[in-house]
Amino acid sequence: MKAGIFCLLAAATFSLPSAQAAEAPTPKEIAERRSKAEKGDAVAQFLLGYNYVSGQGVPKDDAEAVKWFRKAADQGDAGAQDSLGRLYGNGQGVPKDETEAVKWFRKAAEQGYSSAQ
C-alpha cells in the first residue's frame, strides 16, 4: 500500500494558494520574504521553501526548500507539513524516508489539509 501512495507522490506538484500569485517573485520580493522568514514568519518561510523547490525567483535547491518548509512546519503550517511529506516521500533534498513522510502528512491531515489526507 505504501508503494502506491509514493508512486502518486512522484507525480504530485507543489502548489500555492491562488492568492499567492503564480509569477516568479522579483529579487526585491525575495529579499523581503527572506527577511520576514529569518524573523520567524511562518508564511514567509513556507513561501521561500516553495520558491526553492520550484526555482521561482531563486535557483532550484531542494535542500534549502526543506530548511524553510521545516521552519514553517515546526510552527504548525499545514502547507509546509504537506510539502515536507512530499520531499521525504520523494527523497528530494533529504534521504527518502517514508516514515518521516507519513509523519508530516499526518500532521497536515489532522489540520484538515486536503492534499495530505
At residue 16, the 3 state secondary structure works out as coil
DSSP string of 56-115, one letter each residue: SSS---HHHHHHHHHHHHHTT-HHHHHHHHHHHHHTSSS---HHHHHHHHHHHHHTT-GG
Delineate the domains of the chain, giving CATH numbers in brackets: 2-7+26-116 (1.25.40.10)
**pTM for the whole thing?**
0.83
State the residue for C-alpha cell 526553492: 52
pLDDT tens digits for the chain (117 residues)?
344 444 344 434 555 554 454 678 999 999 999 999 999 999 999 999 999 999 999 999 999 999 999 999 999 999 999 999 999 999 999 999 999 999 999 999 999 999 888
